[in-house]
Amino acid sequence: MRPPWAPASGCPYKEYPEIYLTQHLMLWKDVAIIMNITTTNRNVSESQRQVLLCIKQQGKATTAMIAEKLQISYEAVRQQLRQLEASQMVVSSKQRDDERRLGPPTHYYKLSSEGDHFFPKAYDELAIDLIDTLVPALGPDALRQVLTSFTDTVVHQWLARLKDKPLEDRLEALRGLYIESDAYMHVDIDEASNTLRLVERNCPFLNVAAHRPALCSVTISTLSRLLGYKVMREERFQDGDGRCVFRVLLDQQINSAAFRFGFEEELNSSQPDIDVSLSSHS
């Protein structure tokens, strides 16, 4: 029986597992980023929460409709809507009602995608269920195939942005690996010990990564290929460290063109394909 998320008839998803599960992982990654961004907007007052809930329940609402529903003044609702619109949690549009053909159109408010994510979602559970259901069904090598394809996709997205940049600049740019302008990711450069680290204090995929840490191997493999050096995690959220620290091993350059995805434990125990022709950090 075809799973409900699989392609329509005629698509042999078992023959190409990396295509279908990779697509779902990419979609989940985008959703997780949206969830992370909107979490920063969740510091709303109780009055704003009530306004959002009212709009959510009705689909769209006017200022007057909200005021009547919440039994508060029209001006109080206007003030809350202005703040919510400024924080991009609601959007407004003008619409002429059928029964009101004369006069100016009515302003309706509805939730933006950010505002809709204020309400509970179950994306993490869905991602875990997809992985746990599809991987066994597709065979023991499916997860490796999928994560290899996923890593290749992410690497290709970054290659042009990092071209001709020196190592430190590449690492600085990769602060945006998860989220553009990530305020919780920073580069730690210790010149005394000649070490470079990328430190993440707010993993947007933490719930899924905590249950399926193999997914973190994508980040390690991606960083290694894009930086041209072996990368390992010194600290892990999964170990209770409260952050992930990715250390760039400057004494272990790799051949990025030949380097392929590997699970974290494999990468930590194996010797990389060192490219001795690369003698500088550029």
Cα–Cα distance for residue pair 232/213, rounded to 1 Å: 14
Calculate the alpha carbon distances from 75 to 64, 71, 212 in Å.
10, 12, 49
Q: Give the tens place of pLDDT for each residue, 41-98.
A: 457 888 999 999 999 888 899 999 999 999 999 999 999 999 999 999 999 998 876 6
Q: Give the tens place of pLDDT for each residue, 218-273.
A: 999 999 999 999 999 999 999 989 899 999 999 999 999 999 899 999 888 765 44
For residue 17, which amino acid is it? P
Angle among Cα 153, 260, 136 to the nearest 5 degrees reads 75
DSSP 213: G
Largest distance between two CA atoms of the chain: 78
Confidence of residue 38 (pLDDT cuts 50, 70, 90): very low
Cα–Cα distance for residue pair 19/224, rounded to 1 Å: 23
Indicate whether this model's pTM tops 0.85: no
Angle among Cα 112, 85, 94 to the nearest 5 degrees reads 80
Domains detected in the chain:
46-116 (1.10.10.10), 123-269 (3.30.1380)
Phi, psi of 278, deg, nearest 5: -95, 105
